[in-house]
């Protein structure tokens, strides 16, 4: 379960962010993300916003989103590889957490 890596899209007054978490993360505490991002409001993007920002539907959002500031769950680094979206429905990407970091504009970490 922890090796799955869903990508969530967050909406703030500063814009959109991607959050890549371990599948066993549990409930994401938006209050701690407010501090990290230095924003007043934060929420999960609506399905149509996710599609507009990423070009993908919820459930298939890619682990790689060029130009979208990204926050990564440190717990992903306990695995040599994780599995997540490619942007194409019903396909999965196997990738190392370090490569996710290298291919995204990482601005912070959680946990």
The tens digit of pLDDT for each residue in 87-103 reads 999 999 999 999 999 99
The tens digit of pLDDT for each residue in 45-70 reads 999 999 999 999 999 999 999 999 99
- Determine the pLDDT at residue 53: 97
What is the spatial distance between Cα 107 and Cα 94, in angstroms, rounded to a whole number?
22
Q: What is the DSSP letter of 37?
A: H
């Amino acid at each position: 379960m922890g090796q799955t890596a869903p990508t969530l899209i967050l909406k703030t007054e500063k814009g959109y962010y991607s959050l890549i978490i371990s599948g066993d993360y549990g409930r994401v505490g938006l209050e701690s993300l407010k501090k990290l991002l230095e924003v007043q409001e934060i929420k999960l993007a609506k399905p149509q916003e996710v599609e507009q920002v990423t070009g993908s539907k919820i459930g298939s959002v890619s682990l790689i989103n060029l130009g979208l500031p990204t926050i990564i769950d440190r717990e992903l680094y306990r695995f040599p590889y994780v599995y997540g979206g490619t942007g194409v429905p019903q396909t999965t990407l196997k990738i190392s957490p370090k490569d996710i970091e290298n291919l995204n504009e990482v601005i912070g970490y959680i946990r």
